[in-house]
Amino acid sequence: MDSENQVWYAAFKSKDNRFDGRIFVGVSSTGIYCRPICRAKLPKADNCTFYTTAAAAEQAGFRPCLLCRPELAPGTAPVDAADSIAHHAARMIEEDCESELSIEELADRLGYTDRHLRRVFSEKFGVSPVQYLQTCRLLLAKNLLTDTDLLITEVAMAAGFGSLRRFNDLFKKQYRLAPTALRRQTGAEKKQDCNISVSMGYRPPYRWQQMLDFLALRAIPGVEIVRDGEYMRTVHLITGKQRHLYGWVRVGHRPEKNILTVTMDSNLLPVLPLVLARIRHLFDLYCEPDVVYETLSSMNNIRPGLCVPGTRLPGCFDAFEMAVRAVLGQQITVKGARTLAARLAGTYGTPIQTGIEGLTHIFPSPDDIVSLDGPIGDHLGPLGITGVRANTILKLAEALYKEDVDFGHCIRPEEEIKKLLAIPGIGDWTAQYIAMRAMAWPDAFPHTDYGVKKALAPHTPGEIIKIAEAWRPWRSYATVNLWNSL
């Protein structure tokens, strides 16, 4: 074996979870591929071939291990230019794997030619975007076959296959096993309700309680709840055929398996990939905590314990909801902003029956705000929202409605931040905060934030900016660590 393969085999042998999601191991003696943390009997080194993606392993003819379940492996989140293009494309493929989005359309949304996208994608992942999409669909189907009792037809449709026959043929060809045979082998338990439950892996450590505390403090009553160690919220999503779907989702934690458990309303099955993509974003499941800590550990020179491994960047499930919440939070307390957001949801949101105490409304969409007749202040003023902030919310809704700003897969977040700053009422703090949570931009830094200044007192704002230069490109994570330290 060459030196690189020797390193990978050593990681495989030691079950080093730092390599989980970064490499996959094809075992020639069994014809399967595994995560590096797989607890099956260690194969001989000569029988192992290493790949950087599950898609590459599958294209080489290996089928996924039923023990370590490659579909649960965490992803990666690089920030370099070429890597960023490839990974943004991969995230879009995962999110839209139930649609028939072409490579040309994907490239256009990212602002590049399809030729350039194919090249950087192949260089990064070793497979084409189409092959990557195929693996995403197959692994999602495998997850559903293992963790749910959905009908095979429902699994096929939810994973993005156009027909049951197409799904069966590709599944058998790729995995040399029929979907029904896989379900028998894994012994999937029958559920006693009609909800959908799946598992999502992450790379440890994960400071789950700190994440819940952050979300609980900012949860919008009626829309979100943190209770009994779980996060719950209402959901409204639109299919590619413009069908509106409503439901709820609940997220729990199983630290012994390094997974989050996601349970959702069966009404959301047609948009399952999109729901899971938003959960990944909300709970920062692509994070590589060891890479982040390697840079931010220098924070502990300022004060011991200032940076803690496993700190995640809280994202959001709905970008407009989070952005409005940020505007409402300008120069008032977190509790005050939460109260205003609850009034807005209760008055202009959509009522929903969830069967879960405390989840009663869908937060209003940009369309809901834009469609209000008359001056916006007449609508939001009685809720306690000032005229300036009401106008900012309207302009923000218009920008999203017209697609003038991109919170989803913005390949150039600095440009989107500039667009936000052009909206009256949005300053640097608000723009940086939205970039952190809605855009998942790891290098945002709201240096004027009260909590940041308090955690780094007695340094001046100018000194704080200079200090934070050493934390690039993970200043968003540094900010969360500073907040947690308070």
**Active-site residue set:** 34, 449
Q: Which two tokens stand for residue 86?
A: 């490839």
Q: Which two tokens stand for residue 233?
A: 């919220």
Q: Which helix (H) or strand (E) holds 328?
A: helix 319-328
Residue 310 contacts residue 177 (beta carbons within 8 Å): no
Q: How far is CA 409 from the centre of its chain?
A: 11
C-alpha span between 14 and 42 (Å, rounded): 10
Measured in degrees and rounded to the nearest 5, phi and psi for residue 261 equal -100, 130
Number of residues that make up the chain: 486
Q: Would you tell me how many other CB atoms lie within 10 Å of the CB of residue 109?
A: 17
Helix (H, G, I), strand (E, B) or coil at 299: helix
Long-range contacts of 469-473 (CB under 8 A, 24+ apart): 470/295, 470/298, 471/295, 471/296, 471/298, 471/299, 471/445, 472/295, 472/443, 473/79, 473/295, 473/442, 473/443
Q: CA distances (Å), 402 to each of 10, 133, 237, 436, 446, in order?
A: 52, 29, 18, 22, 27
Helix (H, G, I), strand (E, B) or coil at 74: coil
Q: Would you tell me how many other CB atoms lie within 10 Å of the CB of residue 3?
A: 7
Q: Strand runs (DSSP E) across 357-451, as ranges?
A: 361-362
Torsion of CA 111, 243, 434, 21, to 10 degrees: -70
The DSSP bridge pattern shows strands 48-51 and 32-34 to be: unpaired
C-alpha span between 397 and 423 (Å, rounded): 11
C-alpha span between 364 and 48 (Å, rounded): 52
Q: How far is CA 330 from the centre of its chain?
A: 26
The DSSP bridge pattern shows strands 361-362 and 350-351 to be: antiparallel
Q: 145-160 burial, b if ≥16 CB within 10 A, otherwise e?
A: bbbbbbebebbbbbbb
Residues 6+ apart with CB under 8 A from 263: 195, 196, 197, 249, 250, 251, 252
